């Protein structure tokens, strides 16, 4: 609470200049009064600048009530047309060319007309070509029917003729003897009584053909004859335009009733019917005719397509420019809608947040806009004072951006609060590397990220897949992680789990030349300690695991205590920056004392134990420090005066808990009362100021001081810190667990896969072993382990580190900028 | 090489790194301070890691016991 501008004075005090990225940029609320004739251009220039976040001054109005609702609707319509063009282009396989070099300037109105014309033309061309295509497909089907059915007719006819001849030949012999002459004659002679056979021909989809036949059979009670022939290639259906496997069919029926039934069934089954003549000669003629028509249509369609493609290509040349322009205009009108119209309707008023450093740039943009729009009156730029909390804005570059995003994913920093991002840049990859320490794997990771970094320019313009995109975005984080992994790998002395004697000779050797005791008593330290990292002799020995466990556990605690202390120190800088002495004396100091009198002391004990080589049991020391602090330490004593020190530390820890809890709420209450008293005796101010003051009061003066609320808040905070000190320290043990898991896994892959395959002395088994090893290394160690170590490092930063000082309840600065426009819509 | 010698080497590496960053990427006092902080943090982390591992092996309570196979 309080005035943010006076607080900005906190900067620059002390020894050092302000640090980049530690505090968010100082912001100011600005008011700009723009003459209405230059409003559009002004907003456009400010969008180019991209350093002003407009406030919505018409929040109470619905989108339709706003001044420029109409223009936005027009822009939306144009955007729809452009989307239609894009769809057509992707269908035709034309990609819009990149921004053309010749930036012809078009008016928005002209563009609207042009887009409308183009759309109408394109739709017409499309409908025409669709019609033609349909006719073409129908003709193709017709041709198929003619061919297939014609074949059928021809074969049937020829067999019928043969039969007829046979019958005739038959009749010559015995017809005159047996058969009743009259009957035969009657049938042949009386065609009026003969049942007339009709037929329907067409195409039916193959998968429906069985059902089609069955239904036909039932509907006509078997009084029909169906002949189906499958068409070899799928046929384009004229109605749907899809490729479907079809059968050519011919149905013979008798009677008008059957005909209507059959026609209905055909319709229901989507069977296209085509007329057919019985006469074979006529059929041939028809085929010729249809083929002619088909080729004619084909050329027409091709010409139409070429015309359409040309049109789309022409659109493609300017598409990006238009698209961008429409987007810009739309966003400009959206912004203009946020401005409030003056009563006289001669000017608009804009309010917004802008970084203090951008003041000159904004003013310059305003001047240019006034000049370019030939406005008589210039815009008025003034800074407003407000109690509202400004947005948080960090100026990041491509390197720091990804780290800042890691922090922002947890919560955007409160305005000007210390940004953990500064330390995250180093500590995040470092803690990752503590869990991922293997310089072989580190090199693999580094090579992969270097690929991304060297091809940065090319890749950043491309559209990547989800996962690649994410990896690419975090390439610098990955690079730092890989570099620290190489370092910690050298410390752990692991290269794909194999140790090397890179930094001199091992400190250990056999006790005697025969080396008899090496497997029972162990080696003995003969030289000075291995200078850099873990001694290579440990690897593969029986005591490796106990040693590494003890080392890594203590390492985790030491690193954790150090990082938590850093967090608490940052809370001091926060309190100092915001000039909050209460937080320094009643939060920072007792917290520091509490953490260090318990876990700082533990860290001290660890180091003393290492330096002196004492055999004291640290668990025992720590536990009995609480249970019976006055008891004698006995053999667990590490240094003289330890008991007194422990008593003092224990007392300090006990004192610091109520110290954290009680004074702050009480002092806050006192402060509040003092302020209140002062107010009731304040001098009467002149009218203008008191008016302002009253306004201020109505906005935030309502806060009554609720002591119980403040106290409960402080109680929660204290409990959280006290319990957190224990649980957070324990939480750092994940460093130990994950780094152990990583090294064990990699040694399993190395020994059980690679060395085992090597032992067989068989080239094929060796190759298989190598392949399995490579895949296991990449899949499990490089991908999954990276992910899990990443997540654990993330947690350690978000929870264990940031909860010491970081509030993270700010909101991000989102300026009106054309440069940021492109991504959000696609 | 003892503990203090290596620590001195770390310190010197830090100084060299800070100076070279100052010379290579000079970008105004606030940016330089930022870079300096990064270098100091990195060197501190690396030094702590090394120092912890070094001290843990200074006076060993357990020694490597070779496994039977070797």
**ipTM rounded to 2 decimals:** 0.96
Q: What is the pLDDT of residue A174?
A: 53
Residue A692 has pLDDT above 80, yes or no: no
Residue A185 has pLDDT above 60, yes or no: no
Interstrand relation of A235-236 and A27-35 (parallel, antiparallel or unpaired): unpaired
User: Tokens in use for A198?
Assistant: 């009709």
Q: Which of 482-501 (A) contact B at CB < 8 A?
A: 484, 487-488, 491-492
Q: How many CB atoms lie within 10 A of CB A394?
A: 21
Question: Which of residues A530 and A1 earns the better pLDDT score?
Answer: A530
Contact residues on chain B for A613, CB-CB shorter than 8 A: 58-61
Segment among A395-399, A488-492, A679-683, A771-775 with least mean pLDDT: A679-683
Q: Is the dihedral of CA A732, A585, A593, B50 positive or negative?
A: positive
Q: What is the pLDDT of residue A195?
A: 60
Q: What is the pLDDT of residue A535?
A: 92
Average pLDDT, stretch A211-239? 83
Pick from B49, B51, B38, B18: nearest CA to A488: B49
CA of A752 to nearest chain B CA: how many angstroms apart? 15
Q: What is the pLDDT of residue A133?
A: 87
Cβ contact B64–A535 (<8 Å)? yes
Residue A696 has pLDDT above 60, yes or no: no
**Mean pLDDT (chain A, rounded):** 85
Q: What is the pLDDT of residue A697?
A: 47
Residue A241 has pLDDT above 80, yes or no: no
Average pLDDT, stretch A418-431? 94
Is the minimum CB–CB distance between B24 and chain A shorter than 8 Å? no
| Chain pair A-B, CB pairs under 8 angstroms | 135
Which residues are CB-neighbours of A420 under 8 A, at least 6 positions away? A407, A567, A570, A797, A801, A802, A805, A806
User: Tokens in use for A795?
Assistant: 């947690």
**CA atoms within 13 Å, Cβ hemisphere of A300:** 16
Cβ contact B68–A18 (<8 Å)? no
Return d(Cα B17, Cα B26) in angstroms, integer: 13
Is the minimum CB–CB distance between B4 and chain A shorter than 8 Å? no
Q: What is the pLDDT of residue A699?
A: 44
Per-residue pLDDT tens digits for A591-631: 999 999 999 999 999 999 999 988 888 888 999 888 888 88
Pick from B55, B44, B45: nearest CA to A607: B55
Helix axes A421-435, A544-577, angle to 10 degrees: 170
Pick from A683, A785, A705: nearest CA to A742: A785
Is the minimum CB–CB distance between A434 and chain B shorter than 8 Å? yes
Cβ contact B55–A491 (<8 Å)? no
Q: Is the dihedral of CA A311, A316, A321, A323 positive or negative?
A: positive
Pick from A710, A613, A603, A611: nearest CA to A667: A710
Contact residues on chain B for A423, CB-CB shorter than 8 A: 37, 41
Average pLDDT, stretch A365-384? 88
Per-residue pLDDT tens digits for A324-346: 888 888 899 989 888 888 777 88
Per-residue pLDDT tens digits for A804-824: 999 989 999 999 988 887 654
CA of A16 to nearest chain B CA: how many angstroms apart? 8
Give the position of tokens 């300017």. A318
Q: What is the pLDDT of residue A679?
A: 60
| Confidence band, pLDDT 50/70/90 cuts, at residue A717 | very high
Q: What is the pLDDT of residue A702?
A: 47
Per-residue pLDDT tens digits for A97-108: 766 555 667 777
**CA atoms within 13 Å, Cβ hemisphere of A395:** 15
Cβ contact A547–B58 (<8 Å)? no
Q: What is the pLDDT of residue A694?
A: 45
Q: Which run of H or E residues covers position A258?
A: helix A256-268
Average pLDDT, stretch A723-750? 94
Per-residue pLDDT tens digits for B13-25: 999 999 999 999 8
Q: What is the pTM of this model?
A: 0.80
Contact residues on chain B for A519, CB-CB shorter than 8 A: 65-68, 70
Q: What is the pLDDT of residue A492?
A: 94
């Amino acid at each position: 609470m309080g005035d943010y501008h006076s607080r900005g004075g906190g900067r620059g005090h002390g020894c050092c200049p302000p640090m980049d990225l530690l505090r968010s940029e100082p912001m100011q609320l600005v008011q700009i009064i723009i003459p209405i004739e230059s409003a559009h251009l002004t907003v456009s220039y400010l969008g180019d600048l991209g350093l002003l976040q407009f406030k919505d001054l018409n929040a109470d109005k619905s989108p339709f009530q706003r001044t420029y609702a109409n223009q936005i609707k027009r822009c939306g319509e144009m955007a729809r047309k452009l989307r239609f063009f894009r769809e057509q282009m992707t269908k035709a396989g034309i990609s819009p060319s990149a921004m053309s070099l010749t930036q012809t300037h078009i008016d928005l109105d002209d563009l609207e007309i042009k887009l409308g014309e183009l759309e109408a033309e394109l739709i017409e061309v499309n409908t025409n070509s669709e019609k033609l295509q349909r006719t073409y497909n129908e003709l193709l089907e017709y041709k198929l029917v003619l061919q297939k059915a014609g074949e059928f007719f021809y074969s049937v006819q020829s067999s019928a003729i043969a039969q007829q001849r046979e019958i005739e030949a038959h009749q010559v012999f015995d017809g005159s003897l047996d058969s009743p002459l009259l009957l035969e004659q009657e049938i042949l002679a009386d065609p009026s009584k003969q049942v007339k056979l009709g037929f329907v021909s067409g195409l039916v989809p193959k998968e429906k053909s069985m059902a089609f036949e069955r239904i036909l059979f039932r509907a006509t009670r078997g009084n029909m004859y169906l002949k189906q022939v499958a068409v070899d290639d799928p046929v384009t259906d004229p109605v749907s335009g899809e490729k479907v496997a079809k059968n050519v069919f011919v149905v013979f029926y008798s009677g008008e009733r059957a005909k209507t039934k059959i026609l209905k069934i055909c319709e229901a089954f989507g069977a296209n019917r085509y007329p057919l003549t019985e006469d074979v000669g006529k059929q041939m003629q028809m085929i010729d005719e249809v083929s002619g028509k088909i080729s004619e249509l084909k050329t027409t369609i091709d010409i139409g397509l070429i015309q359409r493609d040309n049109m789309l290509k022409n659109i493609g040349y300017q598409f990006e420019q238009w698209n961008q322009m429409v987007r810009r205009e739309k966003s400009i009108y959206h912004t203009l809608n946020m401005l409030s119209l003056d009563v006289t309707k001669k000017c608009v008023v804009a309010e917004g947040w802008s970084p203090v450093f951008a003041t000159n740039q904004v003013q310059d943009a305003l001047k240019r806009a006034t000049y370019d729009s030939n406005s008589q009156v210039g815009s008025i730029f003034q800074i407003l004072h407000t109690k509202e909390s400004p947005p948080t804005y960090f100026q990041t570059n491509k390197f720091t951006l990804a780290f800042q995003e890691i922090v922002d994913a947890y919560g955007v920093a409160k305005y000007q609060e210390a940004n953990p991002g500064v330390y995250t840049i180093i500590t995040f990859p470092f803690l990752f590397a503590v869990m991922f320490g293997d310089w072989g794997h580190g090199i693999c990771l580094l090579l992969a990220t270097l690929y991304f970094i060297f091809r940065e320019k090319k890749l950043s313009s491309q559209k990547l897949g989800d996962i690649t995109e994410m990896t690419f975005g975090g390439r610098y984080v990955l690079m730092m992680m890989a570099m620290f992994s190489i370092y910690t790998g050298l410390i752990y002395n692991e290269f794909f789990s194999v140790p090397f004697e890179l930094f001199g000779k091992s400190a250990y050797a056999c006790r005697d030349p025969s080396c008899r005791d090496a497997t029972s008593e162990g080696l003995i330290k003969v030289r000075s300690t291995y200078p850099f990292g873990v001694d290579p002799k440990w690897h593969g020995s029986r005591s490796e695991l106990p040693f590494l466990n003890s080392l890594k556990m203590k390492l985790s605690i030491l690193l954790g205590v150090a990082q938590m202390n850093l967090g608490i120190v940052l809370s001091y800088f926060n309190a100092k920056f915001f000039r909050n002495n209460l937080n320094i004396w009643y939060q920072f100091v007792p917290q520091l004392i509490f953490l260090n009198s318990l876990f700082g002391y533990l860290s001290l004990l660890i180091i003393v134990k290492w330096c002196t080589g004492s055999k004291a049991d640290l668990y025992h020391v720590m536990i009995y420090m609480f249970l019976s602090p006055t008891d004698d330490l006995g053999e667990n004593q590490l240094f003289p005066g330890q008991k007194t020190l422990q008593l003092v530390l224990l007392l300090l820890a006990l004192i610091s808990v109520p110290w954290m809890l009680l004074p702050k709420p009480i002092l806050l209450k006192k402060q509040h009362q003092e302020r209140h008293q002062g107010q009731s005796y304040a001098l009467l101010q002149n009218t203008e100021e008191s008016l302002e003051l009253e306004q201020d009061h109505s906005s935030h003066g309502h806060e009554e001081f609720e002591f119980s609320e403040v106290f409960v808040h402080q109680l929660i905070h204290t409990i959280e810190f006290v319990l957190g000190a224990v649980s957070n320290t324990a939480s750092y043990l994940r460093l130990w667990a994950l780094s152990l898991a990583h090294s064990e896994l990699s040694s399993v892959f190395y020994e059980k896969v690679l060395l085992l395959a090597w032992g067989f002395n068989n080239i094929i088994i060796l190759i298989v072993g190598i392949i399995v090893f490579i895949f296991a290394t990449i899949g499990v160690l490089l991908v999954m382990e990276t992910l899990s170590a990443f997540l654990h490092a993330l947690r350690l930063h978000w929870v264990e580190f940031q909860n010491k000082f970081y509030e993270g309840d700010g909101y991000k600065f989102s300026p009106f900028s054309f440069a940021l426009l492109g991504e959000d819509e696609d | 090489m003892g503990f203090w010698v290596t620590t001195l080497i770390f310190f010197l590496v830090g100084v060299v790194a800070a100076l070279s960053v100052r010379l290579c990427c000079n970008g105004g006092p606030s940016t330089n301070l930022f870079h300096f902080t990064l270098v100091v943090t990195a060197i501190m982390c690396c030094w702590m890691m090394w120092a912890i591992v070094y001290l843990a092996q200074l006076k060993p309570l357990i020694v490597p016991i070779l496994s039977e196979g070797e």
